[in-house]
Homo-oligomer: A and B are copies of this chain.
Amino acid sequence: MQFIEGGWPGANPKDAAFFARATSELKLHSSRLVAFGSTRRANGDVENDPNLRALVASGVADVCIVAKAWDYHVVHALRTSLEEALAMVRDSVAFLVGHGCNVFLDAEHFFDGFKGNPDFAIAVLSAAAEGGASTLVLCDTNGGTLPSEIPSIISKVNDQIALPFGVHFHNDSGCAVANSLIAVDLGATQVQGCLNGYGERTGNANLVPIIAALSLKQAISTIPPQNLQLLTTTARHIAEITNLPLSPQTPYVGSSAFTHKAGLHVSAIARRSDAYEHINPDLVGNHSRFVVSEMAGRQTLLIKAGELGLELTDDATTSLLQRLKDLEHQGYHFEVADGSLELLMRHALGWVQPYFEVESYRVATDGYHGPELLTEATVKVRVNDNRIIATAEGNGPVHALDQALRQALQTTYPSLKTMGLDDYKVRVLDTSSGTDAVVRVLIDFSDSETQWTTTGVSTNIIEASFSALTEGFVLALVKTTSSEGSAQ
């Protein structure tokens, strides 16, 4: 990223503290940190404007200030004259430039403003240019602009303004990515947006598909070429940090973006992937996936089994297809639960897991006022010819069951110590009946080498969780015992 906006140092103590630390502690390789703010107050004085002073005090060289480019807002929100609004822009930019800043002007509501009063919208850009701004950014703040409206507006800007311009689209019409790409075609040199499209309401323009399209399809340089293949891991990592999960359908970087499901295409894709994928997923660090579903044909199942290192017989494939259909009807979903799918394939081949047998389990939570909440689980398992009873406490029922199962099995299978639970997801499937609904649980596991996901479905969340949990343990044992060359 050429520029990263770090916040509004004048708006609140948290953003001010960020800039105080960022300028000394943050090591940016090729990116430059930008401080955001607004123009001076109406009828105010730049020298004494706390917001402008905070921008200068932030210590960064690049600042972006927002100014209203829609006369309607000047009259009804700022409640000042159009002349004063232009003076606010000119004075504020000049003040910051005078303090050595490189200034971007965000012309707020530019597209709506242009449609209502093009002269004023253009005058705001001119005022910023007179003040010494380096780039003028046309903002679609309410996100209502449609692709067809952009060429005529931008061509008029190009006719009247000589400075470089950028764009800033919101996604309220579902067109923020396309509008940004169209604007770049028309000469925009800066695209403001957000990785993964986060932002108020329907979000800002998602920079991920914009970067990918410009770099891979239009030969316009964006991020360094060697970083393009980090796009998928970066988008997913940011989704983890922000705790705003990425939809699997996300273009380019979603887990389903190159996933092929219908039986129809799978064999053809295996031959010629460029006929069925708009880019090579490797270029953005993603990969093709073939998933198994009710619609899956034999071919899809065989390819998937091959990925897992299993060879399905004809009979096994037939029984597996029927079993998958029954389970999907119950609410199972194997698209991500490749661990559970592997076990189904092994079972279809007649395999029975030889590691342990659960006789019973019990988990109880006692809640009192205060901090004494206790969850305790007991599992009774048979391992070889031993009967083992183990009890453990946990932070919650699944944690307690995990701990009890480990305790019961680790003496016999010490390799389980390297296995961890990475994620636990719950989805209520039938929302029409509240707590009586069917629940699907997904658990992600990993050891030092691989990761796997299992699933369980039940009206009882404990049962669904315990089923996914035990499958995860079985797979951990499959992986370690087969790598040790033991019999399966």
The chain A residues found within 8 Å of chain B, CB to CB, are 12, 70, 72-73, 76-77, 109, 142-144, 146-148, 171-175, 177-179, 181-182, 185, 197, 200-203, 206, 209, 213, 217-218, 240, 243, 247, 249-252, 254, 256-262, 268, 271-272, 275-279, 295, 358-369, 373, 375, 394-399, 402, 420-426, 428-432, 434-437, 439, 443-444, 458-463, 466
A275 and B76 form a contact (CB under 8 A): yes
With contact pairs A146-B181, A426-B426 given, residues A435 and B421 touching in the complex (Cβ less than 8 Å): yes
Q: A268-B77, A421-B434 are in contact. Are A172 and B375 (CB under 8 A)?
A: no
Partner of A146, one of B174, B217, B358, B466: B217
* Known contacts A142-B277, A173-B213, A459-B396; is-contact A243 B435 (Cβ 8 Å): no
**CA–CA, A259 to B199, complex, Å?**
11
Measured between beta carbons, the chain B residues less than 8 angstroms from A443 are 434
Closest to A216 in B: B144
CA distance A146 to B278 in the complex (A): 11
Which chain B residues lie closer than 8 Å to A109 at the CB level? 275
Residues of B within 8 A of A439 (CB): 396
* Contact partner, A375, options B240, B361, B429, B460, Cβ 8 Å: B460
Known interface pairs A435-B424, A436-B395, A463-B373. Does A243 touch B429 (Cβ–Cβ under 8 Å)?
Answer: yes
**A361 contacts B369, CB within 8 Å?**
no
Is A240 a contact partner of B173 (Cβ separation < 8 A)? no
Report whether B365 and A360 are in contact in the complex, using a CB–CB cutoff of 8 Å. Answer: no
**Interchain CA distance A181-B149 in the complex, whole Å:** 11
B247–A172 contact, CB under 8 A? no
Most buried by B among A73, A202, A466: A202
Q: Are B426 and A200 in contact (CB under 8 A)?
A: no
- Oligomeric state, in copies: 2
Chain B residues positioned under 8 Å from A206 (CB to CB) = 174
Partner pick for A72 among B76, B275, B395, B437, CB 8 A cutoff: B275
Q: How far is the CA of A360 from the CA of B373 in the complex (A)?
A: 10
Residues of chain B contacted by A174 (CB below 8 angstroms): 177-178, 206, 209, 251-252
Smallest CB-CB A-B distances: 8 pairs: A144-B278, A421-B434, A178-B178, A364-B364, A174-B209, A399-B435, A426-B426, A396-B460
